[in-house]
Amino acid sequence: MKALLRTLFRPILNTFENNDEAYLYKPSHRKILVAMGVLFGILTAVLIAVTVNSEGYGALIPAVVFGSVCLVTLVVGFLGTEKAVANIWNSRN
């Protein structure tokens, strides 16, 4: 299942896994990345709920932006290699 999801999200993962520089990985970086993804997901859900319950659609653009950040952080956090996690934090040796 993980291989199928990695294939599906390959464009996102390749962005962070393609360089050849040395990196510094810490397991806490992955945990913080997943926590940030969950927080951005909650923020996205709240913005969508506000948009649906109001007459205007002004909160839709921030919801799309925060939803995209949520998607990228969760994909890299759960499916990315150590190198991808280190590169999203810009951690170099």
Query: Over the stretch 26-83, which tens digit does the pLDDT of each residue have?
Result: 889 999 999 999 999 999 999 999 888 888 788 889 999 999 999 999 999 999 999 9
Q: Write out the two tokens for 32.
A: 């913080």
92 pLDDT higher than 80? no
CA separation for the pair 32, 44 (Å, rounded): 18
Report pLDDT for 43.
Answer: 96
Q: What pLDDT, on the 0 to 100 scale, is given for residue 93?
A: 65
Encoding tokens for residue 87?
A: 């590169």
When pLDDT is cut at 50, 70 and 90, the band that residue 23 belongs to is confident
Average pLDDT on 19-32 reads: 88
Q: Record the pTM.
A: 0.88
DSSP one-letter string for 7-43: HHTHHHHHHHH---S-B---HHHHHHHHHHHHHHHHH
Grouping H, G, I as helix, E, B as strand and the rest as coil, residue 23 is strand
E strand segments, the chain: none
